[in-house]
Structure 1
Amino acid sequence: MLKGHQSWIFEKKPVIRAAATVVGPFEGQGPLSNDFDIVHGDLMAGQDSWEKAERTLMEEAGKLAIENAGLTKEQVNFYIGGDLMNQIISTSFAARTLTIPYIGVFGACSTSMESLALAAMIVNSGSAQFALAGACSHNASAEKQFRYPTEYGSQKPPTAQFTVTGAGACVLSQEGQGLHVTSATIGRIVDMGIKDPFNMGAAMAPAAVDTIEAHFRDMQLEPGYYDLIVTGDLSKIGYAIANDLFNKHKFPIEQTQYQDCGMLIYDYQKQQVQAGASGCACSAVVTYGHLLKRMRKGELRRILVVATGALLSPISYQQGESIPCIAHAVSIEGEVEPK
């Protein structure tokens, strides 16, 4: 059901039946390593290219999420997902392996919540009994496509972010007990004229703030309703700007705990990640791994995950375009009254 101008309420409260996360070796050295299902020992994941390795991560996360849900892939009605690669090849090729009816989406790093929101809408409407949502990224494949050749070894500025190698997936169900997807707010494009691809946090922060404020306006809630609001991958630079914007707009973000996935997955003291993490897998693995485990332990009851995306491409950058950005918010809540 539409709520306000750009939000959906899922009356049937689709259940997160299961989730799975797969990450690379660098992510396995970070503070959330125990919250991931599979940690690969090398970036190649047994493949002969980074792009094939990224596809493998998505295949593994999808298969494991389905297995954890106690299902077979034949029982899953739809798979919604995407990644950063041209023509979202990592997800599309994973869909070839999974052989589940497939809807490919692209929201850059916002894809994790874009896919979850759409999966929840499909399940809530009764158009699917089970839906799989997922997103993936790979540090080396993203560097190769969006920045300099990896072999070049270019120096990065302090505002740059480190793309997460990993994949996260979850299975939504019409029925069951556990964690529920209760609402979503679909973001709009916000472009503040920033052209620097090494400063995506600054570019994305206004979009994150716009979507968060829209969510609470549409839902007629106060930020204190949630135990945690977490943005996708603003990292240090974008997180600071977002807080400044909240203060400027007199939005009471202090009523709840506000964190950023890009600041959670790596250890700033031990891992050289400049401003922090980014990539489709950033919010996917932090949410489907770390945050869902915290919720199942009872540490959190309600969270709002706001995945952020910089919708640039190598071509748009080369043509001097600024970076259009977007953010999609999804609320996840603990057990509700039985149907």
Structure 2
Amino acid sequence: MGTRLGKQTLRLDSHPVIQAWASIAGAKEGNGPMGRYFDEVIQDEYFGEKSFEKAESKLIRETLAKILMKGNVSAGDIQYIFAGDLLNQCIAASYGVRESEIPFFGLYGACSTMAESMILGSLMVEGGFAERTVCITSSHFCSAEKQFRFPLEFGNQRPPTSQWTVTGSGGVLVGNSGSGPRIVHVTTGKIVDMGITDANDMGSAMAPAACDTITAHFTETGLAHDYYDMVITGDLGIHGKNICKQLLEENGILIQEILEDCGTMIYDTEVQKTNCGGSGCACSAVILAGYLLDKLSKKELNKILLVCTGALHSPSSIQQGESIPAIAHAVGIEMIS
């Protein structure tokens, strides 16, 4: 059973294993620096479907199929699936997994959903309630723009602080045995709201939440600041990453040399014109299930802390002038002999 280390952090004593992982990304993501790490890159944003929303559901469905295939298991071998996305009522996830007949938990953590799902999935395994769980999420540039900002046909200009929603899906199979990367610590985030109201400046809204969770993780675990090879936030982008670095330094958390961000890794921001970088649930999901787990499995990385960040607003809350609540969840992943 796990051990509580503080208000937000648990140590998972059985070290649930990431047995398999898969990622599918869009053409823009495939043309970026991480493109060679994805299992599949689609060239058609409709993915052969009639709408962007149907395409996003297909992304989850096909990613789930790849996870099961790579893990050499069937849907019947999975006790629970934890999945979510950015669309209303999490329709990408629910439509994407509806044919699998796997017991389903639909999650909404915005862009923190990958870490949220991994925390819950690993706790099910740690507690002995499941032998295997699947944790998966998705996002799609076109469906997210239509829901949260403007239809693409409007052709609006994007301010410098804006980010590009990643088209893709990533997920992992978490189980109680195997030799893959292991989930050792989880830190659940708290909602942090600094009064940001600009939906085109997610980095500023989420950076304080990332700082809060990272600070809690190191404080409650007692780990040295250089314990991890890399601490990776989910999608703060260039602007948010700089804010997070400053806030962490003010808190005495000196990890600036190992701090990275999936949103700054996934695109060549200058060449691909993505302003502050990537965002969306799939941003951290495809970087994890593509680049990071590949590096861990090859022991080119041995210990990482994935800190997925999310902005918990909605179109209605923004239209009503509400500020943007943010959250960050952290998962410590290690290669253990």
Larger mean Cα displacement after TM superposition, 110-119 or 169-178: 169-178
After superposition, what is the alpha-carbon deviation per residue over 1:69-120, rounded to whole angstroms, capped at 9, x for unaligned? 0101111110001000000000011120222110111100000000011000
Give 3-state SS (helix, strand or coil) of 1:97's partner.
coil
Quick check: 2:166–2:283 contact (8 Å CA) kept in 1? Answer: yes
Query: Secondary structure of 1:223's partner?
Result: coil
CA contact (8 A) 1:189 1:207 kept: yes
**Amino acid aligned to 1:159:** T
Return the alpha-carbon distance in structure 2 between the equivalents of residues 223 and 138 of structure 1.
35
The equivalent of 2:330 in structure 1 is 329
Coordinate RMSD, CA, aligned: 0.8
Out of 187, 190, 208, the residue aligned to residue 188 of structure 1 is 190
Asked if the contact 1:63/1:98 (under 8 Å) is kept, the reply is no
1:10 is aligned to 12
- State the shift of 1:335 in Å: 2.4
SS at match of 1:329: strand
Measure, in 2, the Cα distance between the counterparts of 1:156 and 1:270: 16
Counterpart residue identity of residue 247, structure 1: E
One-letter identity of the residue aligned with 2:260: Q
Aligned counterparts, 1:1-339, within 5 A: 1-254=3-256, 257-336=258-337
Measured in 1, the distance between the counterparts of 2:33 and 2:179 equals: 29
TM-score, normalisation: structure 2: 0.98
Q: After the TM superposition, which parts of structure 1 deviate over 2 Å for at least 4 consecutive aligned residues?
A: none
CA distance in 2: counterparts of 1:25 and 1:8, whole angstroms: 38
Q: Percent identity?
A: 45
Q: Is the 8 A contact 1:303 1:331 kept in 2?
A: yes
Distance apart, 1:250 and its partner CA: 2.2
The one-letter code matched in structure 2 to 1:293 is D
Alignment check: 8 A CA contact 1:228 1:304 kept: yes
What's the secondary structure of 2:284's corresponding residue?
Answer: helix
What one-letter code is carried by the residue in structure 1 that aligns with 2:125? V
- 1:42 deviation in Å? 1.2
Q: Residues of 2 paired with 1:110 and 1:178: CA distance?
A: 23
Letter in 2 for 1:137: S
Structure 1 stretches of 5 or more lacking a match? none
CA offset at residue 244 of structure 1?
1.0
Q: Which amino acid aligns with 2:262?
A: C
The structural deviation recorded for 1:247 is 1.9
1:311 counterpart letter in structure 2: L
The one-letter code sitting in structure 1 at the alignment partner of 2:253 is F
TM-score, normalization: structure 1? 0.97
Match of 2:21, SS state, is: strand
Q: Secondary structure at the match of 2:27?
A: coil
What SS does the corresponding residue of 1:291 show, helix, strand or coil? helix
Q: Whole-Å Cα distance in 2 between the matches of residues 20 and 250 of structure 1?
A: 36
> How many Å apart are 1:130 and its aligned residue?
0.6
Give the partner amino acid of 2:109.
Answer: G
Structure 1 residues 26-83: Cα deviation after superposition (integer angstroms, max 9, x where no partner): 1111011110001001101010000000000001111101110010111111000100
